[in-house]
Every structure is written in structure tokens, then in C-alpha cells.
Amino acid sequence: MMERAYRALCDGVLRQERRAIARALSLAEEEGAAAQAIIATLFPHTGRAHLIGITGAPGAGKSTLVRALATAFRARGSTVGIIAVDPTSPFSGGAILGDRIRMQEAAGKWRPDPGIFIRSMASRGSLGGLARATSDAIQVLDAAGFGTIIVETVGAGQAEVDVACAVHTTIVLQVPGMGDDIQAIKAGILEIADILVVNKADRDGADEMVATLDAMLDLAPQATETTWQHATAFGKAMLTATSAVVEPRAHWRPPVVKTIATRNEGVDDLMAAISRHVAFLQESGLWAARERARLADELCRRLGDAVLRRFAARMPVRLLSEVMAQLQAREINPYAAVRRLLAAAEGSNSG
């Protein structure tokens, strides 16, 4: 009965019915039996979309640029799915709410075009949750046949790296006003960027910002040579262990593009840079490599969750609190505590 309902829902998703897509996304976000049933049915239909990540500080113009890009993709005949991630936290609730409202305003303008679907989602404060919910949402939209899927994330550290794991093309937004202050350009941003955008180019200092980014890229060309940097340590280990294929080492020098998202300026240049990146990924074999990295990462994450859940389920609470007390009293060190808990879990496994 339930199973038949899920199948009907998934059929709706595959026919790109908006209500079915919205419902499937909600169920996927809830993470339960429903999510598993839906992903099980939809997964064979995924792996076709071009996945684009857009990251940058709050207010950098990501949502405005996403809107401009979506319009440009539509004009070129591609349907577009958009996932706006809100890493909701007790500290940033206000700003995030504003962001969500702006995105909904955009959604209001776009609703007549069935070729664009926008989903705003919360991460519930956990980075792991963000990565999981994002990859499930990507799979739903991918199965629904959206040719381009854009994921917008607030630049908040590890989350960008997680998102970079989950897409083919990562666009990093910067805004002028930092002058030549290299310190102000966040460490790690160049490593994850496939394309750098200096948005709000109507402001002073845009050309200086482009020059600074170009100079930084010239200093660190090796940072862009592999895709392994896009995988977490766990994912890398999995890829290395399972992979018979050698990672291609093609070189991509991230272009720096100036845009004024509010006036649609520079959007054609950005579209051209995106097309070049897709062609590069396909010709170099990196497209397939990134797919593998993404799947390995997802597998590792889910495996880690499942193992931890299973482990926790057979761990006597009494032993846990005993070990915690010993730890606090410095009677046991953290390594020894882990060994003791593992031994207990393995003991109950064999016994």
C-alpha cells in the first residue's frame, strides 16, 4: 500500500510534476523509510544533470546571480532546479530568514515557467545533515530531469567544501571593497573554486579585486590540478581503495569573471565560463572522476552514519556513562576509552 503510494509519487517526479517533486523533496529531507523508498526508485534515473554550486558570503549576491543564471539557462533551452541551502543556526536566524524571503520573491516571479524549480531548505544546524539533505534533493531534481541544478550555500566554512564535493562546477562569489587585502580573501576559497566571480562590479575596487585573485591563482596553479581535493579524507580513502582508474591530472585555471547580477551584466561571460568548464571536465575525463568522488563521498558518509548508529544501538548506556566518568576523572585517556567501547561492542557482536 505504502509502496504503491511511493511509486505513484516517483512516477510524478519522473514526469516532472511540480507537486510530486515538492512532496518527494520534503520526504527526502525528513530522512526515514520514505526517503529510502523514494531514493531507491529515483536513483537509476539520476546522474544526468550538470550540478553547479554557488558559494560566497551572505549578501554577496548569490541569489540574484542564481536568478540571472537560471534565466540564461532557460533561454538556452535547459531546465533548472535550484536548491537554496540555509544553514539555520540560532545565531544567524534573522539574516537567513531575509535570504529565504528574497528567494521566495524570486520564486514568485518564476512560477509561470515550469522549467525552473526552486527549493529552499534548512540544514538543522548539522553540516553532515546539510550534505545528506542536499545530495538527496539533488537526486530528486536530477531524476525529475532538470538539466542544470544549482545549489546556493552561504559561505560558512566546511559547508562549502561539502557542497564542492557534491557538484561538477563550483562558483565562488567575492565582492569588491576589500582592496588588495589578500587576508580578506578566505583561505580555501581558491582550492574549491572552478570559477571565481567578482560580483557587484558596479562598486569601487572591482578591477583591483580581479587582479588580486588573478595574482593569487598564478601563485598557486597546482591547487587546481586534481579533483581529490573535492573529496573528504574518508572519501579519498574509499576512492583509493576501490579505484582501478587513475585520476586524470588535467589542468584547469579558474577564470575570474566580473558581474553585476542586479543588471544582468557579465552573465553571458559567466555562462561562457561554465560551458568551457563543462567541456573541460568531459574532455579530460574529470566529469566521470568527479561523479565517482561524489558517490564515494556519499557512500562513506552513509556508511559512517549506519556504523555509528549500529554501534550506538548495542552500546550499554551504563558502560557509556562509566567510561565518561572515568574520562572526566582522568582515570582513562580518550584512546583507551575508544578501545574499551569498541571491545564491548565487538564482544556483544560475537556473543
Ligand X SMILES: Nc1nc2c(ncn2[C@@H]2O[C@H](COP(=O)(O)OP(=O)(O)O)[C@@H](O)[C@H]2O)c(=O)[nH]1
Q: Where along the sequence are the contacts to ligand X (CB under 6 A)?
A: 56, 58-64, 99, 102, 199-200, 202, 260-262
Q: Which of these, 314, 300, 302, lies nearest to 346 by C-alpha position?
A: 314
Q: Which of these, 159, 221, 154, lies nearest to 191 by C-alpha position?
A: 221
Interface residue with Mg ion, options 55, 63, 139, 148 (CB under 5 A) = 63
- The residue range among 34-42, 60-68, 244-252, 316-324 that interacts with Mg ion, by the rule CB under 5 A, is 60-68
Grid cell 573528504 is found at 232
Output 99 or 160, the one with its CB closest to Mg ion.
Answer: 99
CA 156-84-286 angle, to 5 degrees, is 80
For residue 53, the cross-strand partners are: 151, 170
Residues in the chain, how many? 351
Output 160 or 297, the one with its CB closest to Mg ion.
Answer: 160
Round to whole Å and give the CA distance between 327 and 115. 56
The three-state secondary structure class of 54 is strand
Which positions from 20 to 59 touch Mg ion by CB under 5 A, shown as an x/- string?
Answer: ----------------------------------------
Q: Which does 162 bind (CB under 5 to 8 A by kind): Mg ion, ligand X, none?
A: none
Q: Which residues 6+ apart lie within 8 Å of 268 measured at CB?
A: 72
The least CB distance from residue 119 to Mg ion, in Å, is: 13
Q: What is the DSSP-derived secondary structure letter of residue 82?
A: E
Output 152 or 297, the one with its CB closest to Mg ion.
Answer: 152
Q: Which does 174 bind (CB under 5 to 8 A by kind): Mg ion, ligand X, none?
A: none
Output 63 or 169, the one with its CB closest to ligand X.
Answer: 63
Element (H, E) at 58: none
Q: Which does 46 bind (CB under 5 to 8 A by kind): Mg ion, ligand X, none?
A: none
Interface residue with Mg ion, options 50, 62, 200, 258 (CB under 5 A) = 62
